[in-house]
Amino acid sequence: MNTQTKITYRMLERISYIHRKIKSGCYPNTKQLAFDLESGIATISRDLDYMRDRMYAPIEYDYAQKGYYYTEPFEPTLQNYLSENDLRVLLSAKVLLSHYKNTPVYEDACSVLDLLSSAMNGKNAELLNRITVAPTVETTVNQDIWNEIQDALNKNHILQFDYTDRWGKQTEQRKLRPYQLVLDDGVCYLFGFDELRNAERIFSLVRMRNVVVTDEDFELPDDFEFSNRLVDGNFGAVFKQKSEHYKIEFYREAQMVVKERKWAENQIIKDEENKTIIEFDSTQFLKIKAWVLSNGCNAKPLEPEWLVKEWKKHAVEMAKMVL
């Protein structure tokens, strides 16, 4: 056999899961593994053969326990199947995943990446320690809610749940045709078609309760991709249907920061005396409002009118707190 044959990512996921189950000592068999991984028994058998023949895994079958076990401690190594650059990129991705360490996706993704760790030589492992992610505010996603959502996504079934608004004052029952899970700066959202509002909406998972997968199915539209709704802005997940034109002035230290990044595809930035003006279109009103307010006296909105009014209202309220 050619030991240099590369394995696919899907196969890597299966091997990672099989390894964890065997290592745990629970004696998994091909039937159970196939069920867990939504694969055929023949596929799992080929994976086991691959682990034995090409990864030298000491796998044996225990007829009394009716499952597989390791005859000696074993950690798979993949240095023959992935390039050094592949390893650096994939293992560095684990650092970036720390943004989502309290979400169910983190544990699953890290288990795959951990499978690669033994393939790192000392130099690459040391390099990985030189990459980190600054701490951010974390949210924790309920595993049961996550599982219900994934079940609905797999079946294209309508979800029913209670949802509390961002002010925590009103809770409504919603029915949603779920399109996609969206991860945004450590927060998980669910994007889909809200039957109560008769429009596409996005919901924060931490504000969802009593989530139930109904028996009602729906047809997933051809254009369900969330990112297609945000072609004119780079401000995160929350959006509304209509795009608006924004014009904002920045002063002092905020001038350099605003020129260093791409906020929208059609942004126009120009410098005038003692200020920098940015103009762009976007649907992401909430993040833009928060962006302006976070710059304090270094930002002043000029358009749209609602943002100017909100900014003035907040400025007045803050002034009252000072006086």
Distance CA 231, CA 226 (A): 10
Tens-digit pLDDT profile for residues 179-231: 998 887 777 889 999 998 898 998 989 899 999 999 999 999 988 888 887 76
Work out how many domains the chain is built from and give that number.
4
User: CATH no. for residue 54?
Assistant: 1.10.10.10
Tens-digit pLDDT profile for residues 228-268: 877 677 777 777 778 889 999 999 999 999 998 889 888 99
Q: Crossing angle for the helix pair 143-155 and 104-114, nearest 10 degrees?
A: 80
Confidence of residue 4 (pLDDT cuts 50, 70, 90): very low
Tens-digit pLDDT profile for residues 102-153: 666 676 666 666 666 555 555 555 666 666 667 666 677 788 888 899 899 9
Average pLDDT, rounded, for the chain: 83
Last-in-domain residue among 223, 244, 272: 223
Last-in-domain residue among 177, 193, 223: 223
Domain that holds residue 89: 84-128
Residue 287 placed within a domain: yes
Residue 306 placed within a domain: yes
CB 172 within 8 A of CB 160: no
In degrees, to the nearest 5, what angle opens at C-alpha 205 toward C-alphas 204 and 208?
Answer: 100
Confidence of residue 76 (pLDDT cuts 50, 70, 90): confident
Tell me whether strands 187-194 and 171-184 are parallel, antiparallel or unpaired.
Answer: antiparallel
Whether 272 and 241 map to the same domain: the answer is yes
Distance CA 39, CA 258 (A): 49
Residue 53, class by beta-carbon neighbours within 10 Å (0-12 exposed, 13-18 middle, 19+ buried)?
exposed
Confidence of residue 34 (pLDDT cuts 50, 70, 90): very high
Confidence of residue 163 (pLDDT cuts 50, 70, 90): very high
DSSP string, 40-95: -HHHHHHHHHHHHHHS---EEEETTTTEEEESS------TTTS-HHHHHHHHHHHH
Tell me whether strands 157-164 and 208-217 are parallel, antiparallel or unpaired.
Answer: antiparallel
Distance CA 227, CA 249 (A): 28
Edge-first strand order for the sheet with 299-303 is 268-272, 275-282, 244-250, 299-303
